[in-house]
Structures are given as structure tokens and as C-alpha cells.
Structure 1
Amino acid sequence: MDPLLSLLSHTGYISGERLCESLGITRAAVWKRVEKLREEGYDINSAGKRGYRLVPRPDSLLPGYLAMDLSTQWAGRGDIFYKPDMTSTNTVLKAMAYQGAARGSLAVCELQTEGKGRLGRRWEAALGENLLHSLLLCPAMPTEKAQLCTLAAATAMAGAVEETVLGLSVGIKWPNDLLIGGKKCAGILSEISADMDGIRFVVMGVGVNVNQRHFGGELEDKATSLWLEQGKLAGSGDMPGQDARELPPIDRRALLCAYLSRMEKAVEAIENQGLQGILPEYLRRSVTLGARVRVTGIQGEFLGRAEALDETGALWVTDEQGERRRVLSGDVSVRGERAYA
């Protein structure tokens, strides 16, 4: 982060004299750098002898504002790269990782031009409405357990959503989808770099439909957003005095900070305890385990019942012939009210 921005991210005013001393530059140079930050979108107030202050801006995902709200030790504390639009946050962060970015680094944007989902699918998101980011992990675990990072991210984001938007109930569809009322509200894409010694890094990409108000075409029956679901709570009377149409946008930065805090703890839990570190939380939210499923992948397509997870995070499914199959990847659809979703 810009050293000046780092100093301003602390609460309250900081004098020009102190900024000069800390940065080793003149007052004129401080003023020029403040102006540059203002051009980048930061709201910086100047007040005579009191100095400069970074004015909070709810929902802004700029690194300086994010740093003000973080309560983590390492998640979000590495390099933070923000740009309004990117090809994809995973692509950008992976390049940063190969160039030596530290654990906990982030790539965040408002719009992805080449957003990626699992199995080569595209991830579509409207400009400035949703939360699109990737977090760099360096987990101390063998390569075969890398799937646990995805499960950890799912539990962390599910908890963060419920913390940010009170009243919502979030389910997890193995391995990487978050659902509310049977509709997808978030997806996770992890990309791993490993060698003979184990995992080098994991790029954990998460996209959350936060404030999107419309889904067209086939997505209308399959996708939802936190804002839409919050509106349903208001419309049902669970939020007295609130008109669903007048609800303000949900603060994406608050959601991201809640996720980073929970993800930090979840990663440390799986490093120390393996699957058991997150299993109770995962089981509580799983919509897959115990359900009838359709599995599509390199093993072909088959129907069965999802029975359990093994210590690597793989899914065990008993097919219709009674054979137990270990599913490491692929598309797992859960039998619900609308056939398999």
C-alpha cells in the first residue's frame, strides 16, 4: 500500500509535519501525493493545522478504506491490487503470486471482463454491484488436501453473509456454491500451484451477488443476490418498518472484511486439524450430504446419494447400484423442488 495512504488509514487527523517526517518529503510533495490519491477516488479532508484525514466511504473497495476496517493478522494484509475492471481477479492474483506477492494478498475489482467459474464456465456480474475478489493462501498442508481450502472458503463466506445481512440462511452445495432458498448467491474458484514439496500457493477466488437487482434469461430461476433476499425478508415482515424497494445497498466492504476474518480462522483450523477444524460448521450448512445427487464429471454421469466427506474434502456418493464412488471434482447437482439444481 502507498505509505501515505497507510498513514492516513489510521483514525483521525494526522498533521502535515508528521507526514513529512514519516515519509521524508516536503509539505509540497505531501500535498501532491494527497491530490493524486483524491484523483484515485479517496476522500481526504484537510483542515488547517490539524492536517489530513481519510474520510470513511461505506462500500468502497479501495485498498486504503479496506485497511481501515480489517481486523485480521494476515488475510488482506499483503499486497492489495484494486482496479475497477480486470480480466479476472484469479488471473491477476496468480500473476502477482508468481512475482512474489505475500500470503494474504488480494485482488479486488468492480467488473470482470473474463470472469471464470468452475469447469470453464463464465462468471457474469454487473459493474459495481457485487463482490469480486481473490485471496492468496499459502497453506501448510499436503497437496492432496488442497480441496479443504475451498470448503474453508465456503464456510467462511456463508458465515460472513449471515453476519452482514441478519436473517439470511446460507447453504453450501459441494464443493463451491453458496445457496439461499435453493438459488445460487456465490461461487468459489480455487487455483493451485504445487511442486514436489507440496502446495506453493492457492488463489481463492470468490464472487458474491451482493446488490444485483435483476437476473435475466435462465439465471432468473437459478441465481439470487443478498439484496434481493434481504428484500424478501422485508416483504415477509421479518424486518418491521422496512419497504423492500427502499432498502439501501449492502456494504460490500463490510462483507469482505467479515469474510477475511472468518477465512483466516478457517485456514488456520484446517492447517492444525484438517477437515475436523471446519466440519461441524460445514455439516450444519451442507445441502449436499444426505441428498440425492447427480454427478457429472470425468467418471461420466450417474445418480446416487451423497454420503460423506473424506479427510481430503472429496465427496463419497453411493450410486444406484450400491457402489460407493469417490468424487474429487465435477458438477454435483442436488435433487430439489426443481429436479436437480
Structure 2
Amino acid sequence: MKEYKTRDYVLKELELNRDSFITGAALAENLGVSRNAIWKAINDLREAGYDIEAVNNKGYRLADNTDVISIAGIEASISSCSSMSKVSSQRLLSRIIIYNELSSTNIVAKKNLITEELDKRIIIARTQTSGKGHGSSRFDSPEGGIYLSIIVTPDELRKPPLKTVAIGKLVGEVISEMTGKKITYDKETNRIYIGKRKVSGILTEYFADLETKEVSGYVIGIGIKYPGLSKNKTIALLLSKLYVHLINI
């Protein structure tokens, strides 16, 4: 078994069991690898930014302050916050690709849409250097936020056409649920506020034939920034709501 798969398995188990320790022996037995392979996977995860506690005779667990965006983290959260079937959830997870840094998730998504590279339709970045906002404005995208773009083709829409207002309402619901705060959604700028703090922006772009005006695809860009927000849980809840209410999977 390849080392990166061992690391992914260990991360998934740690995410699924955040409230308890898992011994290296149990991880090794379940995966069918050596204790040394588990130890190496733990060290690789630490080097990647994960804070992992280790206690003699107890094992390993993720520290409470660890919240690195990962497919394993999203998968661990999606089962507890979604009404999607297991098959649909796995199909959704298979569409995700995560980058440490991009200029803009929307730029990458649009390129994939134009070139019909649609295997990975959910583009997530841990930070952006040139995030796009309303009009010609930039969306500041430092590390610690959530920045993602979703490619949607017309045949995937539950109720076409796609409306940014509907997306904004769902994003607002997610932020309110995750923070326990009342939000305000500005339909003119597609921005979401908690009090006077801007916590989210939505940018929807579409591609259409110049002559027939027929839409060939959409790119939904969403940015969320709020201190202490659980990123993996927020992404899991957001994607599950979008794919249950607006997009067929």
C-alpha cells in the first residue's frame, strides 16, 4: 500500500475519532501495515501542519485547535450533517480537489469548464492571492478562511436557471448555523454580514453561446472568513445543502 494512502487513512481515522485516542497498534492492524508505517504517517501529517497529540498507552488524536481543510476532514463531517446517501456523499467527495494556494479558485474552475476537465468540479484553496469579489473588487483571501468554486452544468440544476440569491440564502443559513449568529445578506453585492463585519462573498459566473445565448456552464465562487469557524464542518454542511437543494449529484 502506498505511503500517501496510509497517511490519508490515518488522517481519516483521527478526524472520525476526535474525542478519543487511537493506538498505533489499532491503526496498524486495521490498515494491515507496520507500526513504523503508522509512525511515519503521523510525522508526515505533523509536517503538513496537523497538531497531533500522543500519549503513552493511549495513542494519538488530533488537537482541538487543528482544523486543516482536507477531504478526510470533510468526509468525517459530512455524514453527521447531511441527508445525502452514502453513494451520493462519496460521489460528491470524489469531485473535490484541494490546493494550498491558488490565484483564484474561480479562475481554475473556469479553465476546467472551458477545457471540459470536469472530474474535479469542486475547487478548494486554503488561500488565494488574487481572489475575485463583486464587480472589479478583490476578495482578500488569507490563510484561515474558506475559498471554493463549484462547476455546475445546466443538466445538473434541480430548478434552472441558477440564481445567486438562492445560493446566498443557503450560504447565509450555513454561516448562521455554524456561528450561532444572525446574518444579513446584501442581494446587490452578494455579500453576507454578521453585524458590520463582512464574513462572506459569492460570485457566480456563467458561459453562454454568443449567438444562441444557451448557457453551457456555471462557476459558483464562495468565500467565507470568520474567526474560529470550523472549516471542514462548514464546507461539509455547505456542500451538502447546495447538492441537496440546488444541484443534482
Does TM-score exceed 0.5, indicating one fold? Answer: yes
Higher relative contact order (CA 8 A, sep 6+): 2
Aligned to 1:40: 48
In the TM superposition, what are the counterparts of 1:168-247 in structure 2 within 5 Å? 168-174=182-188, 176-178=190-192, 185-192=199-206, 202-210=218-226
Superposed displacement of residue 21, structure 1: 4.1
Q: Which residue matches 1:262? A: 241
State the aligned residue count: 225
Partner residue, 1:7: 13
Q: Does the 8 Å CA contact 1:125/1:209 hold for their aligned counterparts?
A: no
Do the aligned partners of residues 117 and 124 (structure 1) sit closer, same or farther apart at CA in structure 2, a change above 3 Å counting? closer
Structure 1 gap ranges (5+): 211-248, 272-341
Question: Distance in 2 between the 1:15 and 1:199 partners?
Answer: 53
**Pair 1:124 & 2:139 matched:** yes
Given that 2:154 and 2:160 are in contact with CA atoms closer than 8 Å, whether structure 1 keeps it comes out as: no
Three-state SS of the structure 2 residue aligned to 1:145 is: coil
8 Å contact from structure 1 (residues 170, 180) kept in 2: yes
Query: How much does 1:93 deviate?
Result: 4.5
Supply the distance in 2 between the matched residues of 1:28 and 1:181 (Cα, whole angstroms).
51
Counterpart secondary structure, 2:69: coil
What SS class does the counterpart of residue 86 from structure 1 fall into? coil
CA contact (8 A) 2:21 2:61 kept: yes
Aligned counterpart for 1:153 among listed residues 138, 159, 167: 167
Tell whether the 8 Å contact from 1:81 to 1:108 is kept in structure 2 after alignment: yes
Amino acid paired to 1:134: S
* Residues 124, 141 of structure 1: alpha-carbon distance in 2 compared, 3 angstrom cutoff: closer
C-alpha separation in 2, matches of 1:167 and 1:202:
30
Mapped to 1, the partners of 2:46 and 2:13 lie a distance apart of: 15
> Which residue matches 1:20?
28
Shift of residue 208 of structure 1?
3.0
Retained in 2: the 8 A contact 1:76–1:106?
no
CA distance in 1, matches of 2:31, 2:215: 38
Q: Which moved more, 1:13-22 or 1:136-145?
A: 136-145
Question: Unmatched 5+ residue regions in structure 2?
Answer: none
Provide the rounded CA distance (Å) in 2 between the counterparts of 1:175 and 1:143.
Answer: 25
In the other structure, the counterpart of 2:131 is 115
Give the 3 Å change call, closer, same or farther, for CA 140–48 of structure 1 in structure 2.
farther
Distance 1:136 1:22 in 2: 36
Q: Deviations over 1:121-147 (max 9, x none)?
A: 242315235432224546645799343
Normalised by the length of structure 2, the TM-score is 0.68
- What residue is the counterpart of 1:251 in the other structure? 229
Query: TM-score, structure 1 length as denominator?
Result: 0.52
Q: Answer whether contact 2:28 2:38 (CA < 8 A) is retained.
A: yes
Across the aligned residues of Structure 1 and Structure 2, the Cα RMSD in angstroms comes to 3.9
